[in-house]
Structure 1
């Protein structure tokens, strides 16, 4: 039993199905665009679909329409549709649109029709058609691939493969037209390979559009997730993200880490004197200054109003102290607030651990105690949590209370009343 491609693949049927699928996709994009105006991506997709549908309708009527209209204008519109789809992807990736680049292929095709040899050669027309559409498909794949660094979405690979394969299929039209047979014969029939190319191209167009819509959905999901994980003012990790990430790091490093707790000095005074907008500017400047000085393996977050935390994996107390001092010096040389030239300083408390069973709450409490000591010592300094010093300090604070309790019962009552 032999496989008869001519009976299996009927080009007119393929083109009708392809045209209907493109039309439905275009109407769907138009409906979405009507609800989400202004949306440049959807607008470009609507234009691309409308151009492709009009071109396919004209080309499908090549037996009843003049050839320059059916194939000249019709296929020119199809090429324009590929260019507009590329620009839709460019808009999706945040790049500037180029009307010249998107329409260049269609204009070249129309100019080719002014050459008599081009009109007389079906093989030449097929080769040029492939050479004009293929670059648009590959450029689309390239732009999607480039976006993976700034926005690593799971479906990028699918979108890249779909568009790259479409470009390669259209490049095959050149050798197939010149070496095997022209796409269309003199009697109006078509080459067997051209029906197969049309079918593969139809499937890849649908796949590329679906993958782009999936990318849009994944982008929205990623934005919602990042919004729940980031501080909106500084774009740092928020307290919830810091706690989850820090606990994971402590478990991985078996509790060996140093924790830095930052508090901007006199921040309430800055807000009260210069306004909250200036305060926000100070917070952003401080965040950028610290963030750019630390490796990606550290977690830095805003955990309160003017309070920030940083976890240093596998760092000792002396290492944490030295790093915190470098941060303090870097901030001490900063001024913000425009013409007001507000000086910025920061107090930093450092805690450390090498105990696999240590809890993040313990490190935070110890760093907070060290930060309290830094602020009590005049601010704009760094203090390392020392358990021995902290115990002695606590006992000294309790001693007057013990004397009052044993020697003067009335003092005990007053102490309680004052608390």
Structure 2
């Protein structure tokens, strides 16, 4: 089936409008994601702009060429503002709308308005710049691992190149007569490519928001609500992954806050919760980079250290214990915080089992409590995988 230019124009309008509606429907289900609303409005504006451009020759050129392109450039600016919002930045609406304003002011200059190459060069420069800015913002947010981030960067960059390459082509190639622009064989190709990019970019932007929502849900399911540390399930999973690797030794530090029940009984659960949060923050500050710290439940915490033998792990545990012992609260001068620590570690080259390592650390922790609390006890290493 042969698609003529009017049919492709109509398809562009319909597809862009549907994409905008889908963005707004997604936003209605997740009002926290303002980027979805901005992208929805951007595509609806783009659909209106496409409709005006389709009617060239039927409506006055001031509406088709002037207003249509101004709205299209504003739509690209809004897409960039939506990307900024997605990346946690403030949407730059004034800059986003400035592209359309610059176009409108340029069209008031007779020499510019009469020059098709000049119009193509300016519109392509502005639209390509917004695509480039969008690609840059998505790239800058790559610290957040989202699978669709790189496809989005590649698509935005490709769209940038397609727009910017039109600038030298428009300036150095002989343009068709203004009356025959609609008859150009390249126009259907550009329309079709534009529709493909619209759908592809909408898909990856939708995918980015979905992946972020799923990642936040996963992190929430793996995070202790009070302290912000890994909960027991997440901690066990991360430790088992380290143990399965073998090679370097893995140490497990098991912490238990001393006399924590009396803290709750004497000062109340609010103060008790504060003590738990304070310990979590203090331990994170003292522990070396790469340590996995989690809350096992109640007043019990655990830490995994990779590439750390038993003696080194015991020294690190002692630093945490000593730091906790120095904590004092001006509002509660009689409140003292202490911690007992049990330490266990695998031998180099052994892929230990979490339950075995946990059993050793728990036994060492029990020994620390029985010896008077407020101390570190290291368990004797066990050779894993050897039958008795």
1:85 match: 79
- Which residue among 95, 98, 118 is the counterpart of 2:89? 95
2:386 match: none
Q: Secondary structure at the match of 2:121?
A: helix
Query: Contact 1:126–1:182 (CA<8 Å) still a contact in 2?
Result: no
1:120 match: 114
After superposing the two structures, state which structure 1 stretch, 259-268 or 353-362, moved more. 353-362
| Residues 1:59 and 2:48 are matched in the alignment | no
| Residues 1:25 and 2:19 are matched in the alignment | yes
2:326 match: 333
1:108 match: 102
**Deviation readout 1:183-208 (Å, 9 max, x if unpaired):** 76334435444443333222112100
Runs of 5+ consecutive residues of structure 1 not aligned to the other structure: 1-6, 388-419
2:341 match: 348
2:298 match: 305
Displacement of 1:56: 1.3
TM-score by length of 1: 0.83
Query: Contact 1:72–1:110 (CA<8 Å) still a contact in 2?
Result: yes
1:390 match: none
Alignment length (residue pairs): 379
Q: Secondary structure at the match of 2:297?
A: coil
The aligned runs of 1:166-315 (5 Å cut-off) are: 166-182=159-175, 185-253=178-246, 256-315=249-308
Displacement of 1:86: 1.2
The aligned runs of 1:5-44 (5 Å cut-off) are: 10-37=4-31, 39-44=33-38
- Alpha carbons of structure 1 residues 65 and 343: separation in structure 2 relative to 1, 3 Å: farther
After superposing the two structures, state which structure 1 stretch, 281-290 or 97-106, moved more. 281-290
The aligned runs of 1:380-419 (5 Å cut-off) are: 380-386=374-380
Q: Which has the larger radius of gyration?
A: 1
If asked which structure has higher relative contact order (CA below 8 Å, sep 6+), I would say: 2
Displacement of 1:284: 2.3
d(CA) in 2 for partners of 1:326 and 1:302?
19
**Deviation readout 1:37-83 (Å, 9 max, x if unpaired):** 46422221221012111111112112022212211111100111111
**Deviation readout 1:69-125 (Å, 9 max, x if unpaired):** 211111100111111111112222221112212111111111111211111111100
| Residues 1:48 and 2:48 are matched in the alignment | no
Query: Contact 2:67–2:104 (CA<8 Å) still a contact in 1?
Result: yes
The aligned runs of 1:153-164 (5 Å cut-off) are: 153-164=146-157
TM-score by length of 2: 0.89
